[in-house]
A and B are shown apart, each in its own frame.
Chain A
């Protein structure tokens, strides 16, 4: 357990489904991130939230919709996904957006779109 908890660990969904990924941290961090990890590719930043405000959307398609109700919780709402969206989705947090003390990652949600 890293201090950042992601649920579910695994998710299989059809292209017409709607599902949500959840991330929770109680480390007192103010910044939270969603990353996409595909095989043999660098981690791709999707969204950044700092003090509950979205500070970055890295040209992510609108079928991915983030929500940050408070500094401890981050959601990624999914709808009408494509098979190429199958990947490991990682949530991370840090003290602040510019923290030098490293990110704490969750174990990820392995998403398969069928």
Chain B
């Protein structure tokens, strides 16, 4: 079974600064995908960024980037130039390819961006 661990229940950052959220996972699979989802107070789940395990290059989406360390089974999210609208719960998630693509989520990190 796959497990996803987010060791930081809460974090805070000043507006315009950079913050990194941690995620580790455990699996024996080789074909898998990793995701970061954002859940603002509206409760909507929003996909922030994804990484295919077979790709060595770290994914980036505008101000969001990941540090994917496959050997260490680590997948951290870096948010640059933090904005007030980034305040949300962030979930790291794991999916095994070809297994009906079921998502396994971590418990989440509540990020607060302060003005």
Query: Do A and B come together as binding partners?
Result: no
- Using a CB–CB cutoff of 8 Å, the interface residues on chain B facing chain A are none
